[in-house]
Structure 1
Amino acid sequence: MSDGVVGLQIQTALLVFIRITTFMTISPGFSIKGLPNLIKVGLAAGIAFAAIPVVPVLSAEIPMLLFVLLGIKEVFLGLAIGFITKLIFSAIEMAGNFVDFQVGFSMGAVYDPTMGVSVSYYGKIYYWLSICIFFLTDLHHVVIKTVIKTFEYVPIESTNLGGFGVEGMVKLFAIVFETALNLAAPLMIVALLTEVVLGLISRTVPQINVLILGMPLKVLAAFLFTLVLLPTLTKNISHMLPLMVKYINEFIQSLPAA
């Protein structure tokens, strides 16, 4: 095997590794902060090694300056793909934060080192439930296949990514908020109905201190209805998570291939 062919294969492998590594750096499920960096790099290298046979090799050996530019392009493309998956998980976590706000747990938000942000109780529950569903339904395999498929739409030697309009991002953010509200709506309604019941109690029985009774009653009602609605919640989350694959495909197909 000549040195030129080896150089082409090395450059191809490095560019593939850059895109996959940057994707896994920001994508939840693959970038758990408690996971050692060595394991993350090894996992990214393993996926990149498996993807190299299906990725077209560079047509010619490219100079160093162009290689650096292609590497920067791969970094931004990998981050963009990972950000789409992060938005879906953020929508689920946001739904839990909405519930926390209605129940009164938002004041008890603490820093979670595994997520890198301050989250409250239902936010954690919704997030980790989505992570469990993500792996139990083998959706991580589908996401990895989708990321590898992006090399067909945007080859590694492509230098043109076109213009990034704000219309698609605004639409995606609107979908995230809509999804979060739909997911949190049942428990938010339970919390609001609990407030109405407390208001009626304070009117009919003024001797009861509603301020003291309100907080534990809302917490108890939210907890009980969470257990009752857990099958529906898991079903809704399992229907929501595949949206990340859809939006990744739409994003990649919207980019020019050359």
Structure 2
Amino acid sequence: MNATQQTANQLLASLGVRNVLGFFLVLARITPLFIVAPLFSSRQIPARARTIVALAIALGLYPLAIAGQTLPDGVVPIVGLVVKELLVGLAFALCIAVLFAAIDTAGALLDFMVGFAFGATVDPMTGNNSAVLTRVYTLVAIAIFIAINGDAWLIQGLSRTFDLVPLSAFPDFASIGEGVVATFTTIFASAVQVAAPVIIACVLTDAGFGVVSRVVPQMNVFAVGFPVKVLVGLLVVAASLPFVGGWISDQLTVSVSQALDTVRMG
């Protein structure tokens, strides 16, 4: 035990307490990104790989984060800074996760409208039960996120938070809470924007079969209407996916901007 403690003390002396403390504070702000943010928190990525990536990002960002900062020596102030870093990182990650929450909500709405909600299965990306269109929209969103270098945008946005909220400063947590809540209130509106073409097509299809059932009452509308509604829904989904891709690309920029505005010091 003495040999291990002596080795640790030598390592701290060689690296510098300030550098080690700055590294762990930066790591604390990065950690929520790998818990709730899209792609970074995916269960398809092994936990060991996510840990290595988080350590690598922290190692690259901490020299910039500690530049010109005066870090405390006491245990209580250090614990306070760690908690603050976790909260700031969580606020940033939650604002980004809202984008994919809107995509999932849009897929769930469409599954309900088209009739695929009865066939819910486990989504490998999130581990939750989801139906066909929810999984399709989630996979398309992930593919677009990777194609437009969304991961690089998130890392760049996260690095900007160290300018807005330095390591040694405390933000207005009430303002951060209000910003996160305001961002979450946009989920349903964004989901309706994504799903609107398919919802309108399904409503018009139902209205059309309602008219047909009045004109030809002997027709079994439920037997004929369900496959037609599925066909119409899939055709409109296929036609609208390119526009959904453009929406995701634009909304990612907005989400990063909203995340930075949320963590900005009051």
Structures share fold, TM-score greater than 0.5: yes
CA distance in 2, matches of 1:120, 1:96: 8
Matching residue within 137, 141, 146 for 1:130 = 141
Partner of 1:139: 150
TM-score, normalised relative to structure 2: 0.88
Q: 1:166 to 1:59 in 2, by over 3 A?
A: closer
Could you tell me which residue of structure 1 aligns to residue 100 of structure 2? 89
Equivalent position to 1:54, from 64, 74, 86 = 64
- 1:215 corresponds to which of 201, 213, 226: 226
For structure 1, which segment, 191-200 or 229-238, has the greater mean C-alpha deviation from structure 2 after superposition? 229-238
Q: 1:18 is matched by which residue type in structure 2?
A: A
> 1:70-85, aligned counterparts within 5 Å?
70-85=81-96
Task: State the distance in 1 between where 2:207 and 2:194 align.
Answer: 22
Aligned AA (1:211): F
118-127 vs 61-70, greater mean Cα deviation: 61-70
Match of 2:19 among 6, 9, 16: 9
Q: For 1:154-208, what per-residue CA distance to the aligned partner results, in whole angstroms no more than 9, with x for missing partners?
A: 1112245442476534432332221111111100001111111211222233332
> Conserved in 1, the CA contact under 8 Å of 2:91 and 2:262?
no
Partner of 2:126: 115
Name the structure 2 match of 1:224: 235
Which of 197, 202, 205 aligns to 2:208? It is 197
> Does the CA contact (< 8 Å) of 2:92 and 2:259 recur in 1?
yes
- Aligned partner of 1:35 in structure 2 is 45
Match of 1:183 in 2: 194
- Supply the distance in 1 between the matched residues of 2:173 and 2:135 (Cα, whole angstroms): 38
How many aligned residue pairs are there? 255
Distance in 2 between residues matched to 1:240 and 1:60, nearest whole Å: 36
Q: Which residue of 1 aligns with 2:4?
A: none
CA RMSD of the aligned region, Å? 2.1
The 8 Å contact of residues 146 and 245 in structure 1, kept in 2 or not, is answered as yes
Q: 1:200 & 1:10 partners in 2: Cα distance?
A: 72
Aligned equivalents of 1:52, 1:166: Cα separation in 2: 26
* Contact 1:96 1:124 (8 Å CA) reproduced: yes
Following TM superposition, by how much is the alpha carbon of 1:210 offset from its aligned partner in structure 2, in angstroms? Answer: 0.8
Letter in 1 for 2:77: L
Displacement after TM superposition at 1:106 (Å)? 1.8
Shift of 1:88: 1.2
Distance 2:116 2:83 in 1: 42
The CA distance in 1 between the partners of 2:170 and 2:225, in whole Å, is 60
Query: How much does 1:53 deviate?
Result: 2.5
Kept after mapping to 2: 8 A contact 1:94/1:180: yes
Distance 2:157 2:109 in 1: 31
Q: Does 1:67 align with 2:78?
A: yes
Structure 1 200/228 Cα, relative in aligned 2: closer, same or farther at 3 Å? same
**Per-residue deviation at 1:113?**
4.1
Q: Secondary structure at the match of 1:242?
A: helix
Deviates more, 1:186-195 or 1:211-220: 211-220
Contact 1:8 1:61 in 2 (8 A): no
> What is the CA distance between 1:236 and its match in structure 2?
2.0
Q: Retained in 2: the 8 A contact 1:88–1:243? A: no
Q: Distance in 1 between matches of 2:15 and 2:43?
A: 38
Query: For 1:67 and 1:247, how far apart are their aligned partners in 2?
Result: 28
Tell whether 2:30 aligns with 1:20.
yes
